[in-house]
Structure 1
Amino acid sequence: MAPAKNKRPKKDSEGSTSTFVRFQSQDYEKLCQKYTNTKEKYIDEKFPPEKRSIGTGLLSKSQMAKLVWKRPSELVEDPCLVVDGESRFDFAQGELGNCWFLAAIGAITFQKEIMDKVIPDDQSFGGNYSGVFHFRFWRSGKWIDVVIDDKLPTIDGELIFLHCKTRNEFWPALLEKAYAKVCGSYAALHGGFISDALRAFTGGAYKTFLVIEETTWDLMEKAAQGRALIGCGTHQGATSANTVLPNGIVQGHAYTVTGVTKVKTPTKEVKLVRILNPWGEGEWNRDWSDKSPLWKQVSEEERKRWLEDKNDGEFWMSMKDFCRYYSNLDICCVSSTFLDEPPTAPKSRRIQH
């Protein structure tokens, strides 16, 4: 059996439960106690496993006819909330057009203190498991504690929305359900702004910037040094959203910036940007991609440090190519020191796939 999520030390400052407002007045601890005593499994009457929680216009009639709500224990023998820690490589997008939300999740997995706050440590599928879980988001100027049951929408025994690549790991699916509850339905997540999701996970300040070759590198390097969260979006394209270009870039799509660095070749220093596709697959396939021969021009030490040839949705590209194919940056951080820069775009762009 895979290990359950490890307990984390309690926090007495900003992370303490006393700073959170109970969403819809639901008390996680009291619900856990009640259903542990009755030995029943919790069903959330305020976001029930019913059609109205899916919302309208998201699934077809045939899909809705086959939809079954199941608990993780009905899908696998050994469900875990988290297996070997939360990672940006854990999850893959489902039928829901919420790449903007997934791009933000990919960003926060780098910062344990944020993950600790969003995913409380006092829950698991072991011990006194009673089907009750809770997650925390920043909304309307305060942190809210959101309770859900663990019934998830499936078709033919498979999760239809956000799911883990590790079959018995369920933190992404449950986190998505909690946010869907806050927004009213899963359908409400079908299209959104990266900046909204980054704000919901951090309560931090954010700005949106146009990608401009003359200024964007300095901005990204400064943001990375300040441990800011960085999302980005590609140009919409002339045809339809979701079009995958021959070079592997998806038009009108949200991505996460997961790193910036400089490497030395025999003739010059090259600025590189590392980017994650929240689909969990599908990568840039030109200069400085995983299989690019340009990596042979850098030292073996730099190749070992930066290059991973895996089809996991994460890839490197040059700053020049980044500025060609990406249109905007969304930068969010708890400390707004570096955000003194004036925004060069009026607002984040709504992305729907």
Structure 2
Amino acid sequence: MKLSHSALLLLFGVQLVTASQNRLQKMIRSLPQAKQVTQSCTTAIDRFKAALPDYKTIVQSSSNFWSDGQFPADGSSIQWTGTKYSSNGLISYAGNKWERLNNLCPECTLFGTSDYLNDITQGGLGDCYYLAGISAVAEINSRFEKVFVNPQVNWAGLYAFNVYIRGIPHVMVVDDSIPAGQYGKKPVFAGLGGDNSIWGPLLEKAWAKANTNYEQIIGGQPFEAFSFLASVPNNNFKIASLNATSIWTKVSQADGKNWIMSISTPSAPNGDKDKCKFNLACAHAYSLLAVSTVYNADRTQSINLFKIRNPWRKDADYSGSYADGSSLWLSAGADGKTYAQQVGLVIADDGVFYMTSEEVLQSFDDLNIGQYTENFVTSWYDKRDDQVANENTPAIYKFTLNEPTPMYIRSTLYSKRMYPISCKPDQANIKLILEDAFGKQLNYYWSNEQSYSYINLVDAPLNVGTYTLKFYPQWTAVDVKDYGIVIDAPRDIVITDVNGQASRLTAHDFSNKELKAIVAQAPKPEKPKLPDISQTGAAYDLTGNLDQDILKIRYSSSLPITNQRKGTYLTGSSSTLIGGVRYGLAMFMGTLREDITYTSTLTVTTKPGHIFKFSPGNDKCTVTNNGDDEIKCTCLIKPDTYPKECLLVVITKEGEGYSNSYSASAKSS
């Protein structure tokens, strides 16, 4: 499937499989095959039509994990390998182990310990557009918290969300099992928040479930996240058509209204592996969080700044004039405050950075603004399986206003993304006409389904009266003929069909914010212990009894162990003169990290006649004689290897000395 940059923004780290067909098919046959999910063009749509589980009872009464049968923790939720519905874009992840978030991070909470700004970290999935979009939604707490039905951590690991499908409110549920790499040790897609929050990977999973699987959410536009979580009308602007004054006016006005904004860099041959202006990743989406104006000391000069966030949660490479560490931030400004103080600058590699209007114009090509209005509510008519309406015969709906009312009016279909690869090559076209009580046309639009068009009557409110909406769909052969007639306005508006009937088959749930488990959590299997390096045991001198020595020296204060790079490298050694005639040597290597492959080599050179014992087994050692014996032992610790340590004890021959060395390396899993 060929998709243009306007439809796709590709993520750093997406792996393209270029193996031969035979090798690819061999890999496909080796992957776990899904047994629970029916794979069809309407699988994602059918999920939203199915009855919800009794999530309230499950959350309250489950002492152990609940599993979502609609979106199982297996390769079918990554991609539909070996079918016409997959381009094998995530085949390298299809065999991943899955792990529950509550197991990966028992101390984590949904929102973490600080604000939402530093919670999103993109992983190995090309969904920068979505993560930038949900970060932008999360900028305003009141807007963001509406999404979460049950924000309390629960033993079932079940989380329900208020989302919009076809612009219509729905509740959807997911469990907290996520792809966690070859060894099941850490999220491979959206990561945990810097403050131990888990909403990022959960909302990413919800988006994948809503659109069939994770492969289906590679590449897109941030306004898709705006629509999914907030159902807002969106405006897209080509930055090439703007100048410093017009972009500042649009963005500052939108920021003043707390609208949702994102901004994207141009495409490039290698996607976001290529660097654009100021070392920004190309083909990449960013949250546009806010604007600020800083003033010099006498307020005779001002500089307009845009506050932007990278969903990679890093900005150290950014080289714009107002990068962290720039001397410009220290400029003396108004009211005795530096420019840094005026904007509340935080110096951290957190993905947040500032740009001038001129730098924005040089760096980006797309601006999205979602017109979220805090006091507006969504009204809708949910039409299912309309076999009558077409491009010549309209479906007719009416609504009545008792007072002048500003509003947005839309007709909404299932997004093309909800149909798996190869299912929907073409787009539907839709026309929506607004008429007054006398049949006079007041407004209309005609567009394809991906234009997200709408009628904007916010600045020209409709007067008191009864109005008619005529919906003309030009369906494709594969469309599911469901749609929504949606009005966003300050008050609820009843929309009826020609029979005078309303249709609201689903709704959001705002009544279960305090929902939590009322039972104790079931005991979990004991986790393997990491190395204890406190070394509080009694002092111990090696004796030459290898079996005894390797046990008693391990926790002895005589073997101090150092911790380097936050537990990545643990090292320790101890030597003893035994009976005044020979040496005893103990060497310790290990790691506290469970997400790396750790390799170390311990080498001791001494004369033949020595004895030694290596805790993983002497078969992990080689002895090479070049006059002296070189004992070389390899300590290989994979993420699923326990214990995460190796101990070598060597006793030399009487009258002989030794030399020793070690090396260590670590590789992310």
Q: TM-score range by the shorter chain?
A: 0.7 to 0.9
Shift of 1:145: 0.7
Task: Give the superposition deviation at 1:231.
Answer: 0.5
Secondary structure of 2:189's aligned partner: coil
Q: Which runs of 4+ in 1 moved over 4 A?
A: 34-40
Find the aligned partners of 1:40 and 1:289 in 2 and give their Cα distance.
Answer: 47
Counterpart of 1:281 in structure 2 is 314
- The CA distance in 2 between the partners of 1:221 and 1:73, in whole Å, is 40
- Residue 321 (structure 1) aligned to one of 359, 362, 365: 359
Structure 2: how far apart are the matches of 1:37 and 1:236? 50
- Structure 2 residue 207 is matched with structure 1 residue 179: yes
Give the match for residue 295 of structure 1.
Answer: 329
Quick one: which of 70, 90, 105 aligns to 1:59?
90
How far is the alpha carbon of 1:166 from its aligned partner?
A: 3.3
Structure 2 residue 338 is matched with structure 1 residue 309: no
1:269 aligns with 2:302: yes
Residue pair 2:278, 2:318 contacting (<8 A) in 1 also: yes
Structure 2 runs not aligned, ≥5 long: 1-46, 80-85, 377-405, 409-447, 452-669
Q: 1:27 aligns with which of 52, 72, 91?
A: 52
Q: Go from structure 1 to structure 2 and tell me whether the alpha carbon gap of 1:308 and 1:123 turns closer, same or farther (over 3 Å shift).
A: closer
Number of the residue aligned with 1:163: 191
Cα separation, 1, equivalents of 2:309 and 2:112 = 21
CA distance in 2, matches of 1:292, 1:333: 34
Q: Does 1:193 align with 2:221?
A: yes
Q: 3-state SS of the aligned residue for 2:73?
A: coil
Q: How does 1:28-177 map to 2 (within 5 A)?
A: 28=53, 30-34=54-58, 37=61, 39-55=63-79, 56=86, 57-61=88-92, 63-65=93-95, 67-120=96-149, 122-126=150-154, 129-155=155-181, 156=183, 157-166=185-194, 168-177=196-205
Q: Deviations over 1:23-46 (max 9, x none)?
A: 343435x24415754645211111
- TM-score of the two chains, using structure 2 as the length reference: 0.44
Structure with higher Rg: it is 2
TM value normalised by structure 1: 0.81
Structure 1 SS opposite 2:350: coil
State the 1:264 CA deviation: 2.3
Aligned sequence identity (%) = 23
CA contact (8 A) 2:147 2:162 kept: yes
Name the SS for the 1:91 alignment partner: coil
1:131 CA drift (Å): 2.4
Tell me, yes or no, if the aligned pair for 2:78 and 2:215 is still in contact at 8 Å: yes
Structure 1 Cα separation of the partners of residues 310 and 103 of structure 2: 30
The Cα shift of 1:54 comes to 0.6
CA distance in 1, matches of 2:332, 2:205: 44
Higher percent of residues as helix? 1
Structure 1 gap ranges (5+):
1-21, 340-345, 349-353
Deviation of 1:260 after TM superposition, in Å, equals 1.0
* Number of residue pairs aligned between Structure 1 and Structure 2: 314
User: 1:193-252, CA deviations, whole angstroms, 9 ceiling, x for partnerless residues?
Assistant: 111111212111110012211411111111111111110111224x32111247221111
Q: Given that residues 134 and 178 in structure 1 are in contact (C-alpha distance below 8 angstroms), is that contact kept between their aligned partners in structure 2?
A: no
Q: CA deviation at 1:97?
A: 0.4
Structure 1 residue 123 displacement after superposition: 4.1
CA–CA distance in structure 2, aligned partners of residues 34 and 263 of structure 1: 52
> Residue 205 and residue 158 in structure 1: after superposition, are their counterparts in 2 closer, same or farther (change >3 A)?
same
Higher strand share: 2
Higher relative contact order (CA 8 A, sep 6+): 1
Deviation (angstroms), 1:289: 1.5
2:196 and 2:293 map into 1 onto residues whose CA distance is 38
Aligned to 1:259: 290
Q: Distance in 2 between matches of 1:86 and 1:295?
A: 24
> Using the alignment, how far apart are the partners of 1:154 and 1:27 within structure 2?
26
**Distance in 1 (alpha carbons) for counterparts of 2:306 and 2:212:** 36
Q: Deviations for 1:64-110, whole angstroms, at most 9, x for unmatched residues?
A: 33x11111232133232221255121121011100100111111112
The one-letter amino acid paired with 1:293 is: S
Whether the aligned pair in 2 keeps the contact of 1:285 and 1:292 (CA below 8 Å) is no
**Residue type matched to 1:131 in 2?**
G
C-alpha RMSD over aligned residues: 2.6
The CA distance in 1 between the partners of 2:153 and 2:226, in whole Å, is 28
Preserved contact between residue 202 and residue 333 of structure 1 (Cα < 8 Å): no
Inter-partner Cα distance in structure 1 for 2:358 and 2:194: 35
Asked if 1 retains the 8 angstrom alpha-carbon contact of 2:118 and 2:350, the reply is: yes
The 3 A distance-change label for structure 1 pair 42 and 230 is: same
Report the AA paired with residue 310 of structure 1.
A
Give yes or no for contact 1:234–1:327 (8 Å, CA) kept in 2.
Answer: yes
- Residues 305-344 of structure 1: CA deviation (Å, up to 9, x unaligned): 322221111111111111111112100022398x9xxxxx
* Whole-angstrom CA distance in 2 between matches of 1:236 and 1:25: 39
In structure 1, C-alpha distance between the alignment counterparts of 2:105 and 2:113, rounded to whole Å:
17
Structure 1 residue 171 displacement after superposition: 1.2
Q: Say whether residues 1:330 and 2:364 are aligned partners.
A: no
Residues 218-237 of structure 1 mapped to structure 2, 5 A cutoff: 218-237=249-268
Shift of 1:142: 0.4
Give the whole-Å Cα distance in 1 for the aligned partners of 2:276 and 2:266.
11
